[in-house]
Amino acid sequence: MDDRHVVKDAYDEMATVYAERVVSGSSPGPPEPVRRFRDELGPEDELLDAGCGPGRRTLELVGERGVGLDISREQLSLARETVAAPLVQGDMTALPFTSDSFDAVCAMYSLIHVPVDDHRTVLEEFARVLRPGGWLLVTEGGVEWTGSNPDWLDSGTEMHWSMAGREATRADIEACGFEIRGVWDVPDPTTEEGEKPFFLATLS
């Protein structure tokens, strides 16, 4: 089975467990890269949250000016309970939006579930739907690693990850026409150890 379908089925199966962990594992305020990203958004800017999950991260910042996209129908069902933004089920490798649709795109802890060979395709899609000068915030793995956990978050559900690593991700972001404005290592709320790099960039 394609890893993306495994990820979709896993997030459907453990939707509530994941949503509870995101809330309980979050810090009192957003980490610095998220604050920086938020501060760059103008009052009329439109945001795409790609891999929005239960909608507890960035969609609440912009209300109806945001659009949430996720591969998991159950994650979107939970998001509908907390956010006013339109929600769309879809795949990040083929975004169901026209070019130049958004002023900002964030992909927090979602690119790491896409097969590594498709990471640049996803970043090209982000560049396509962004307007010139638009902002991108994306999370990756600090090292190259592909693997799975058969009992993620003690849920009894298997989850897959595919991480390109810091340097490969930097190269892919720049190759897709972005200028990197900062990189931060941020604790992952779904684990008690380990950090993941957040890349903040603008579309040239």
pLDDT in tens, 2-43: 677 899 999 999 999 998 887 665 556 788 999 999 999 988
In DSSP terms, 54 is beta-bridged to: none
Question: Does residue 56 or residue 139 have the better pLDDT?
Answer: 139
Confidence of residue 55 (pLDDT cuts 50, 70, 90): confident
Measure Cα distances from 134 to 10, 24, 65 in Å.
32, 31, 15
Q: Which of 14, 15, 26, 8 is nearest to 190 (CA)?
A: 26
Predicted TM-score (pTM) of the model is 0.94
> What is the number of helices (H) and of strands (E) in the chain?
7, 9
In DSSP terms, 148 is beta-bridged to: 160
**Percentage of the chain exceeding pLDDT 90:** 75
- Say if residue 189's pLDDT is above 90: no
- Say if residue 1's pLDDT is above 60: no
Confidence of residue 60 (pLDDT cuts 50, 70, 90): low
CB atoms within 10 A of CB 98: 8
pLDDT of residue 3: 76
